[in-house]
A and B are shown apart, each in its own frame.
Chain A
Amino acid sequence: MKDTSHINPLESEAIYIIREVAAQFEKPVLLFSGGKDSITLVRLAQKAFWPAKIPFPLMHIDTGHNFPETIEFRDKLVKELGLELIVRNVQDSIDQGKVKEESGRYSSRNSLQTTTLLDAIEEFKFDACIGGARRDEEKARAKERIFSVRDDFGQWDEKKQRPELFDMLNGQIELGQNVRCFPISNWTELDVWSYIEKEKIEIPSIYFAHKRKIFLRDGLIWSHSDYVYQEEDEEVIERMVRFRTVGDMSCTAAVFSDAADIASVVQEIRDSSISERGARIDDKRSEAAMEKRKQQGYF
């Protein structure tokens, strides 16, 4: 093609941010969950450094309660692209007595990830963690900077955020601090899906409609699984569903859907009247759920 004017400005912005991370930090890492946002980040990182390899490793904080499809996909992707993958397990943090497994109706390992993540940052001395969070996801996220400085305890202080002017990113930190970097901050859910479609990026099969054993609770569709607490009177049924966001099995609800390919998924998102986080059980806990988790060091 003749010129680059057709390139999506959001894509150029994300590539710019990823290059800044690689240039400004000594030991960056890309936090990889196996979800669509982090898969998109991997593609953007490939583009940022081509024909060289991505100059930082991927890290997955595995809750042990992931969808098996996600883990299979993760391992395949890493192998195909020749990437370095670090895995740290929430189970280990539980075994070491650092966190306590939740119990009961709404138990989930989602918030336990924070401790495992902070320990891994410390273990590898990572000074920058690239994440796929987007500002359109949630109202506390909408306040997040592109380079978000965390203190020694990994905590977010929303009142002390650095102003970000033009596209200058200030990554200067003290020893012990680290920065969470969000290259797709300005993308919406639809932007991500459209990009996956246009770039023909492979994603785990659970994003597409499939038959699954589920049960209904509080108007949400829960997966029937060993990892998900279920009452006896909550009846298991089989339906065509898919997932819009992929986290821990215990905190990700499905949607009824027949969208079996990427084009129908994009169309479904376009027509959808409910937000992606509307299917996150962890956010339904309280209105300030995300803000609280972030202050504690959650992604």
Chain B
Amino acid sequence: MEVLKIATAGSVDDGKSTLIGRILYDTKSLTSDKLEAIEKTSKQKGYDYLDFSLATDGLVAEREQGITIDVAHIYFSTAKKSYIIADTPGHVEYTRNMVTGASTSQAAIILIDARKGVIEQTNRHFFINNLLRVKDVIVAINKMDLVDFSEERYNEIKADFSTLMAKRDYQDQHITFIPVSALKGDNVVNKSENTPWYSGQTLLEHLEDLDKKDIYNTGTPRFPVQYVIRPKTEDFHDFRGFAGKVYGGELSVGDEVVALPSQTKSRIKEIYFYDKKYQTASRRSSVTITLEDEINVSRGDMIVKVGDLPTIDKQFTANISWMDSEKLEPGNKYVVQHGVNKVLAKVEAINHKINPDYSGIDTDVKALGMNDIAEVTFKLNKPIFFDAFKKHRTNGSFILIDTKTNNTVGAGFIQ
């Protein structure tokens, strides 16, 4: 079964929650009790239409204010795929939630209010989705019902957006434009009669057609060891299995491998998933591997193929998305969690701040505040084994943990 993870983006009130509610409604994924609750609340609020955003805005404060405050994960499936959609808040204050949503998604839907067109938030959201190398971006030009389904307006917005696209760093990102009305349902699941000038797919048709190989980032195989399995039972007296998830590429029995940081070589002896043996461990599967030789491997170490080593270094430069109200300043210390590996890190320098509206960079920066994006150089107390984020989405990313509060305060993408 295929699972497609999607994040939404767009400014406050652009209609993200409504769009998701509409998808649920039109795919008949809303159960009768949930639909009843929406009908009841819509009526109470005095609306003459169904407020589908009520399907996702689950917190009391959200329903009171009519905005999304925290990411919600929504599930539905068609005969072809299972979908997980992250409904993210549009408020600037919650940009970090958008970064979070984009980090786990293979596709993103950016909404634009057709009356407002491309605004600063659109720049920001497009920038973030490009920075995080989300492979497929759908620009849904929403509220077309409020601009009389005007083709001219649609083309105007499309042209504005295209000037942004020219500036993006990750040029291979696939971008599709769709005119929709989330509220009325035009071109969301069903083709609209109001847009005869639009010959493309509806939003759902597009998602249904996305091919696995087009949306998953691949690279070379990386196997971070999560857990060492030593049963010490009679039947498995000498069993020493390395449990983890395979990222990037696949690993097979017989592959010559190196364990990092020790750089000891060995060969893959067995690959287990539960009690069954396999020849090959595919990408994204959680397996247990045994090696031919008794070598010392523990949690946080990494098994890779011979001749295909990542960078091993105590220093790196990365783009950071800062998510905390406490400032990041040179000299500050954080825990860097890179996959399942943790090391202590010191901020060496803030090289520059990046303006997410593509207006350039600021080089004279003393500190980073909430929602800032910047290039930062770190020094570590131990080497880690990383790839550039461009080459390896998992092995090139990390999170920053505050040593005092233990909170996750930032995310980084290694250059």
Interface residues in chain A, defined as those with a beta carbon under 8 Å from any beta carbon in chain B: 1-5, 7-13, 15-16, 19-20, 22-23, 46-53, 135-136, 138-143, 158-159, 161-168, 170, 172-174, 185-186, 188, 190-191, 272-275, 277-278, 287-288, 291
B199 at the interface (CB under 8 A from A): no
Do A16 and B245 contact each other (CB < 8 Å), given the known contacts A1-B278, A3-B281? yes
B70/A161 in contact, CB under 8 A: yes
B33/A278 in contact, CB under 8 A: yes
Closest Cβ of chain B to A26, distance in Å, is 14
B275/A15 in contact, CB under 8 A: no
Measured between beta carbons, the chain A residues less than 8 angstroms from B70 are: 143, 158-159, 161
B67 at the interface (CB under 8 A from A): no
Do A291 and B231 contact each other (CB < 8 Å), given the known contacts A51-B275, A168-B339, A275-B33? no
* The residue from B58, B250, B401 contacting A172, defined by CB atoms under 8 A apart: B401
Chain A, Cβ-Cβ closest to B394: A166
B316 at the interface (CB under 8 A from A): no
Do A5 and B285 contact each other (CB < 8 Å), given the known contacts A50-B274, A170-B399, A173-B406? yes
Measured between beta carbons, the chain A residues less than 8 angstroms from B59 are: 140, 143, 158, 291
Stretch touching chain A among B71-79, B118-126, B143-151: B71-79
Measured between beta carbons, the chain B residues less than 8 angstroms from A136 are: 74-75
Instruction: Report the separation of the CA atoms of residues A288 and B37 in the bound assembly, to the nearest whole angstrom.
Output: 12
Instruction: Report the separation of the CA atoms of residues A260 and B283 in the bound assembly, to the nearest whole angstrom.
Output: 38
Q: Can you sample 26 A-B contacts with CB below 8 Å?
A: A2-B279, A3-B280, A4-B278, A4-B280, A4-B282, A9-B3, A16-B286, A20-B340, A23-B227, A49-B227, A50-B272, A51-B233, A135-B73, A136-B74, A139-B72, A142-B73, A142-B74, A163-B97, A163-B99, A163-B323, A164-B104, A166-B394, A186-B3, A188-B82, A273-B31, A274-B33
B382 at the interface (CB under 8 A from A): no
Chain B, Cβ-Cβ closest to A277: B33
B401/A50 in contact, CB under 8 A: no
A51/B60 in contact, CB under 8 A: no
Do A170 and B337 contact each other (CB < 8 Å), given the known contacts A274-B32, A278-B31? yes
B230 at the interface (CB under 8 A from A): yes
Instruction: Report the separation of the CA atoms of residues A140 and B63 in the bound assembly, to the nearest whole angstrom.
Output: 12
Chain A, Cβ-Cβ closest to B97: A163
> Considering the complex, which residues of chain B in the window 82-116 have a beta carbon less than 8 Å from any beta carbon of chain A?
82, 84, 96-97, 99-100, 103-104
B31/A274 in contact, CB under 8 A: yes
Instruction: Report the separation of the CA atoms of residues A145 and B323 in the bound assembly, to the nearest whole angstrom.
Output: 16
* The residue from A5, A143, A185 contacting B282, defined by CB atoms under 8 A apart: A5
Measured between beta carbons, the chain B residues less than 8 angstroms from A46 are: 274
Do A143 and B71 contact each other (CB < 8 Å), given the known contacts A1-B276, A12-B285, A170-B337? yes
* Contact string against A for B residues 256-293, beta-carbon threshold 8 Å, 1 for contact and 0 otherwise: 00000000000000011111101111111111100000
B49 at the interface (CB under 8 A from A): no
Closest Cβ of chain B to A108, distance in Å, is 19
Do A48 and B243 contact each other (CB < 8 Å), given the known contacts A16-B286, A186-B73? yes
A48/B286 in contact, CB under 8 A: yes
Closest Cβ of chain A to B128, distance in Å, is 12
Chain B, Cβ-Cβ closest to A135: B73
Measured between beta carbons, the chain B residues less than 8 angstroms from A172 are: 335, 401, 406
Chain A, Cβ-Cβ closest to B271: A4
Q: Which of B31, B97, B272 has the most CB of A within 10 A?
A: B31
Do A167 and B278 contact each other (CB < 8 Å), given the known contacts A4-B273, A7-B285, A274-B33? no
Interface residues in chain B, defined as those with a beta carbon under 8 Å from any beta carbon in chain A: 1, 3, 31-34, 37, 41, 55-60, 63, 69-75, 77, 82, 84, 96-97, 99-100, 103-104, 226-227, 229-233, 235-236, 239, 241, 243-245, 250, 271-276, 278-288, 299, 323, 335, 337, 339-340, 393-394, 397-399, 401, 406-408, 411
Measured between beta carbons, the chain B residues less than 8 angstroms from A272 are: 31
Interface majority SS on A: helix, strand, loop or mixed? loop
B281/A162 in contact, CB under 8 A: no
A165/B104 in contact, CB under 8 A: yes
Measured between beta carbons, the chain A residues less than 8 angstroms from B99 are: 163, 165
B279/A170 in contact, CB under 8 A: no
Chain A, Cβ-Cβ closest to B68: A143
Measured between beta carbons, the chain A residues less than 8 angstroms from B82 are: 188, 191
A165/B73 in contact, CB under 8 A: no
Do A51 and B73 contact each other (CB < 8 Å), given the known contacts A12-B285, A163-B323, A172-B401? no
B58/A19 in contact, CB under 8 A: no
B299/A23 in contact, CB under 8 A: yes
A19/B60 in contact, CB under 8 A: no
* The residue from B74, B273, B278, B411 contacting A165, defined by CB atoms under 8 A apart: B411
Closest Cβ of chain B to A160, distance in Å, is 8
Instruction: Report the separation of the CA atoms of residues A50 and B3 in the bound assembly, to the nearest whole angstrom.
Output: 26
* The residue from A15, A48, A50, A287 contacting B37, defined by CB atoms under 8 A apart: A287
Instruction: Report the separation of the CA atoms of residues A164 and B272 in the bound assembly, to the nearest whole angstrom.
Output: 28
B287/A10 in contact, CB under 8 A: no
A288/B60 in contact, CB under 8 A: yes
Measured between beta carbons, the chain A residues less than 8 angstroms from B31 are: 272-275, 278
Closest Cβ of chain B to A190, distance in Å, is 8
Instruction: Report the separation of the CA atoms of residues A289 and B72 in the bound assembly, to the nearest whole angstrom.
Output: 17
- The 5 lowest CB-CB distance pairs between A and B, nearest first, are A139-B58, A278-B33, A3-B280, A52-B231, A5-B282
Measured between beta carbons, the chain A residues less than 8 angstroms from B32 are: 273-274, 278
Measured between beta carbons, the chain A residues less than 8 angstroms from B394 are: 166-167
Instruction: Report the separation of the CA atoms of residues A47 and B276 in the bound assembly, to the nearest whole angstrom.
Output: 10
A165/B408 in contact, CB under 8 A: yes
Q: Which of B3, B230, B398 has the most CB of A within 10 A?
A: B3
B33/A142 in contact, CB under 8 A: no
A52/B230 in contact, CB under 8 A: yes
Measured between beta carbons, the chain A residues less than 8 angstroms from B287 are: 4
Instruction: Report the separation of the CA atoms of residues A188 and B63 in the bound assembly, to the nearest whole angstrom.
Output: 24
Chain A, Cβ-Cβ closest to B33: A278
Instruction: Report the separation of the CA atoms of residues A164 and B401 in the bound assembly, to the nearest whole angstrom.
Output: 12
Instruction: Report the separation of the CA atoms of residues A277 and B274 in the bound assembly, to the nearest whole angstrom.
Output: 32
Closest Cβ of chain A to B240, distance in Å, is 11
Chain A, Cβ-Cβ closest to B339: A168
Closest Cβ of chain A to B3, distance in Å, is 5
